[in-house]
Amino acid sequence: MKRPVRREDHVRRMLDGPHPQVPAGLAERATERGGRLLRRHRVARALALTVLFLAVGAFLVWAVVTQPWQVPPADTTPPLEGW
């Protein structure tokens, strides 16, 4: 049980010590970076939705043209028996 106590003491000593100065303009830079990230995510989301809709549209066009739900015609004729 001594190991967690040592860790707690170490953390308390770190927090009680002098705190470093925050660089000037940090909040403005963080705000700009956050805005850039949000714009990138919005563009990526819009691009992904566009690709998804195009893929669904291409699938629908393919399905209407080839009609995969219909049974393909038989390549051979059934045997003629009983003539």
HSE-up of 76 (CA within 13 Å, CB side)? Answer: 3
pLDDT tens for each residue of 42-75 = 999 999 999 999 999 999 999 999 998 888 777 7
Residue 83: band (very low, low, confident or very high) from pLDDT cuts 50, 70, 90: low
Record the pTM. Answer: 0.59
Stated length of the chain = 83
The percent helix, strand, coil of the chain (3-state, each to 5) is 65, 0, 35
Q: Give the per-residue pLDDT at 45.
A: 98
Give the three-state DSSP class for 9.
helix
Q: Give the per-residue pLDDT at 49.
A: 98
Say if residue 2's pLDDT is above 70: no
Q: Give the per-residue pLDDT at 81.
A: 80
